[in-house]
A and B are shown apart, each in its own frame.
Chain A
Amino acid sequence: MRAGSLSSIDATTGESRPRGKPVVLLVDDDIASLMMAEGPLEDAGFQVVQAVDGVEAVDQFNRHHPDLVIMDAVMPNMDGFEAIREIRKTNFGHHVPILMTTGLDDLESITRAYDEGATDFLTKPINFFILPYRVQYMLRSKETADELRSSQARLDNAQRIARLGHWEWDIGSDTANWSLEVARMFGFDKRLLYGSMESLFSKVDANKRQEIRMDTEQAVEAGKPITLEFNIQGELENDLRSVRLEAEPKIDSEGNCTHMLGTIQDITESAHAQKQIHDLAYYDLVTGLPNRAQLRENLAQALRLSERQDNQFALLFLDLDHFKQVNDTLGHDAGDDLLVQVSQRLSGVLRDSDTLSGPNNHDDDSASKNTVARIGGDEFVVLLGSINRAEDAARVAERIAESTSAPYTISDVEVAVTTTIGISVYPTDGRDSETLMKHADVAMYHAKENGRNGYQFYSTDIHEHALSRFSMERELKLAIEDNQLSLLYQPKLDMVTGETIGVEALARWNHPERGPISPTDFIPLAEETGLIMPLGKWVLEESTRQVQKWKDQGLGTFSVAINCSPVQFTRGNMIADIDEALKASQIDPNLLEIELTENLFLHNIENGIQLLNSLKGLGVQIAIDDFATGVSSLSYLKRLPVDKLKIDRAFVEELHVDKGDEAIVSAIVTLGHRLGLKIVAEGVELEEQYDILRKLKCNEIQGYYFSYPLSSDDFEQWVHDQHRPLVKTGTA
């Protein structure tokens, strides 16, 4: 009987398998063996196909794609080993189970059989009763393996579709293995699904790598689950993927974390989608600016921060005049185009104004940010997150009005719009979002009615104040540049000798239109705006130059006292300015007295001491001004390298009528003298005051009793006139 003659492919019997019966390819050169094997296999429900040598076996295999092959080892015309090799090479032959039959004595063949890819072996002579059971067993194993393979394939597929991979980390040996999808995500070799945890970390965005490493280690130590989100360098170049890693510890019986089991999911798309959803909800589609919802959040944040930090902030309500005409005549697209251009200009103004809000606007997360929002048709709102003064808001409003009123080119047509702005200021005009918005809106309508300046504060007081301060600030700046400022010198006398020993230099501003402006008005303004820096520098230069001039003229050697603001030290470079003035004027440093108030030491005494030491290093004298009015702490006084205490004029004023004031002055003098300090009294207007101060052994005095502050010319005259009779010399 020729092998193969039996074979025929049955039509399917209605089962889901393409073939009704499993097909077994039986290969043996021993015809008797084939004949005996056929019956039991067919009885067991197999369809049998036969071959008598290797060549025929391969041929039959390709024709019938059997479910299993029983292969004799030793055959003429291609042996069983070579036949297995050929079968394994074919597409259908990768996983087909092959049972090799060999002689019991042929150990070499058994080894070779496995090497060539046989699934199992059976010794000859074959027990034909057992053969079908063996075949069935092998087919079941094959099915299980197939299922495993397909379930693995399904898992891989599912993970690929979900962009979700899993991994396991054996902490003791620091080996990690991961699924195909992790390898795909991380761009790893898909055949090597293991490595160290570090190989995973190495793909994490460099900025966050260390943090992710630490977080993972902490989770291991604590034995706690973690969720981390970070970016990784993806499979492709410049492909940054957002991933979420979730991990759970596996704890052994002793409570140690031995493994971490986890997943990694590529969330790039969903993160992107979430951002889009957020943008749709919080940003205006036409201009890309924050919308009303986003403004509401930023406003709420500004309220929280300002309340905590005791800051002011401003809300500017903008309305585009003539926008409607553009929309009506040129169409909606043109209207949208205009809105976009306006929004760009607004953003530009805000960018340029970032540094405007002064020292309180720290560049960190705790500072509320400025926001430009579009809240309706032609309505924009600007939130200035932190301002020092109402003028700051006025300045921005002015810039907005200026910037937005420049012509626009829309659809080749030049159009002009103007902007009306209403401003509300927290906390004066309201302490909640609604009130502030309403008041800014109301202010905007007032501005429209008034048609002045283009902007209007809700509060009239603030408006007037801001305007006048605003203009004064500009004028002061001009005054410094144009030498509208002058210095007056108030003589200072030695109590014992009655001689004029020095002057206090006092700045005066003679406004060309408003006349003289009081220092109590313009000095605080100069401090707030930073104009104190050029002002102070000018005072230094001018006064030291004058004192040196008097000396050179032979008028006398006078000291000069100058008031310095803490701002000059904290924000300016006062030490360098003084050094420069000393060198320029050639004045003896000992003649320059720097008068400082106690406020300088208010916040940080160590810094204050350091500053005073720097001053002493220049050789100048230091006086504490307005002594006993501030937060005087006697304990720090001995640590300060100062030379003089200047008693506040408030104590001198009532000295002759108030015994309490006399006691205080007496105590200051005694204290100062014990500390080796000289005591200066200012504001002396009456002889009685003078007498008491002399009795109390005050060292130096100044005041109207002797002389008003004098111009340099008048001072020269005053020295010549020698107003000595007023001073009772030598009669202590």
Chain B
Amino acid sequence: MSEIDQSALDNVRALQRPGSPDLLSRIIGIFVAQTPEGVHAIITALAANDLDTVRNTAHSIKSSAAYVGAARLSSRMADLERAAREEHVDICREIVEGLEAHSQSVIDELQSLSSQDKAA
């Protein structure tokens, strides 16, 4: 099952201005570059019970995931942001369980889409 909502990517493509660097690949590039770092920060912060960092980082990934069409990852981050705000550490741990793998699969899929785009 695809993690990526194609219509979201279409929205980004529609924002592409002629003569400008490719917007979608830049957005994806930023996502791909920043997300592993963010996921790692969440895991470390949660282990240290630093819920503020968990919440803020989740908030960031939530919106950038939404723009690249990673709807499930975005809503997972929203859940995490809320749980961190409400200081439900257990729920946070549940949500973070397997987050690394989830985010990696999104990244993989985006990278393949991006290379397809370039190929096209």
Contact = CB atoms under 8 A, between A and B. Distances in A.
B30 interface: yes
Given A29-B60, A30-B60, A76-B56, A39 B67 contact: no
A14 to B, nearest CB: 26
Contacts of B16: 39
A74 B62 CA distance: 12
A36 B17 contact: no
A471 B59 CA distance: 120
Contacts of B23: 35-36, 39
Interface size range on B against A: 20 to 34
A129 B16 CA distance: 12
A280 B31 CA distance: 90
Given A32-B27, A36-B27, A40-B15, A125 B20 contact: no
A33 interface: yes
Interface residues of A, number: 19
Contact of A39 (B20, B30, B62, B63): B20
Interface string B53-91: 000100110111011100000000010001000000000
Contacts of B67: 30, 32-33, 36, 125
Contacts of B40: none
Contact of B15 (A30, A103, A128): A128
A105 B78 contact: yes
B32 to A, nearest CB: 11
B76 to A, nearest CB: 14
A124 interface: yes
A55 interface: no
Nearest to B64: A32
Contacts of A103: 59, 62-63, 78
B66 to A, nearest CB: 5
A50 to B, nearest CB: 14
Contacts of A105: 78, 82
A328 interface: no
Interface in A656-713: none
8 contacts: A30-B60, A32-B31, A32-B68, A42-B17, A103-B63, A103-B78, A105-B82, A124-B66
Contacts of B14: 129
Nearest to A36: B15
Across the A-B interface, the 7 shortest Cβ-Cβ residue pairs: A125-B66, A32-B27, A39-B17, A32-B64, A30-B63, A32-B67, A39-B15
Given A33-B64, A35-B26, A74-B59, 18 more contacts: A29-B60, A30-B60, A31-B30, A32-B31, A32-B63, A32-B64, A33-B63, A33-B67, A36-B12, A36-B15, A36-B23, A39-B17, A39-B23, A103-B62, A105-B82, A124-B63, A125-B66, A129-B14
A124 B60 CA distance: 12
A227 B27 CA distance: 73
A43 interface: yes
A43 B60 contact: no
